[in-house]
Amino acid sequence: MKLLITGGAGFIGSNFVHHILKTYPDYEIINLDALTYAGNLENLKDFDNEPRYTFVKGDICDKALVEELVAKVDIVVHFAAESHVDRSIFDSEAFVRTNVIGTHTLLEAARKAGNKRFHHVSTDEVFGSLGADEAPFSEITPYDPRSPYSASKAGSDHLVRAYFHTHNLPITISNCSNNYGPYHFPEKLIPLIITNLIEGKEIPIYGDGLQVRDWLYVEDHCKAIDLIIHQGKIGETYCVGGASEKPNLEIAKAILKLLGKDEGLIKYVQDRKGHDRRYAIDFSKIKSQLGWEPQVTFEEGLQKTVAWFLENEAWWKNVRSGQYQEYYNQQYKK
Q: Among all residues, which ones are annotated catalytic?
A: 124-125, 149
137 DSSP assignment: B
CB 105 within 8 A of CB 251: no
Given the complex with ligand NAD, which of 36 and 284 has the nearer CB atom?
Answer: 36
Size of the site for ligand DAU (CB under 6 A): 19
Q: Is 126 in the site for ligand DAU (CB under 6 A)?
A: no
CB 76 within 8 A of CB 106: yes
Given the complex with ligand NAD, which of 79 and 298 has the nearer CB atom?
Answer: 79
Residue 59 interface partner, choices ligand NAD, ligand DAU, none, CB cut-off 5-8 Å depending on type: ligand NAD
Q: Which residues bind ligand NAD (CB under 6 A)?
A: 6-7, 9-13, 33-36, 38-39, 59-61, 79-83, 98, 102, 121, 123, 153, 176, 178-179, 185
Residue nearest to ligand DAU (CB): 123
142-147 LR contacts (CB < 8 Å, sep 24+): 146/274, 146/276, 147/85, 147/88, 147/89, 147/274, 147/276
Say how far apart CA 35 and CA 14 lie, in whole Å: 12
Greatest CA span in the chain, whole angstroms?
Answer: 59
Q: Is 123 in the site for ligand DAU (CB under 6 A)?
A: yes
Residue 174 C-beta: closest distance to ligand NAD, Å: 8
Taking CB under 6 A as the criterion, the residue among 43, 83, 99, 141 binding ligand DAU is 83
Stretch that binds ligand DAU, among 32-40, 42-50, 120-128, 253-261 (CB under 6 A): 120-128
Question: Of 25, 53, 24, which Cα lies nearest the Cα of 41?
Answer: 53
How many CB atoms neighbour CB 219 within 10 A? 20
Residue 48 C-beta: closest distance to ligand DAU, Å: 27
SS3 307: helix
Per-residue CA distances from 137 to 122, 128, 132, 219, 316 (Å): 14, 9, 13, 22, 33
Contacts (CB under 6 A) with ligand DAU, residues 265-324: 272, 279
Residue 11 C-beta: closest distance to ligand NAD, Å: 4
List strand residue ranges (DSSP E) for 130-224, in order: 171-176, 179-180, 203-206, 212-214, 216-217
Given the complex with ligand DAU, which of 116 and 122 has the nearer CB atom?
Answer: 122
Q: Is 205 in the site for ligand DAU (CB under 6 A)?
A: yes
Q: Which residues are near ligand DAU by CB under 6 A? A: 83-85, 123-125, 177-178, 188-189, 192, 204-206, 211, 213, 248, 272, 279
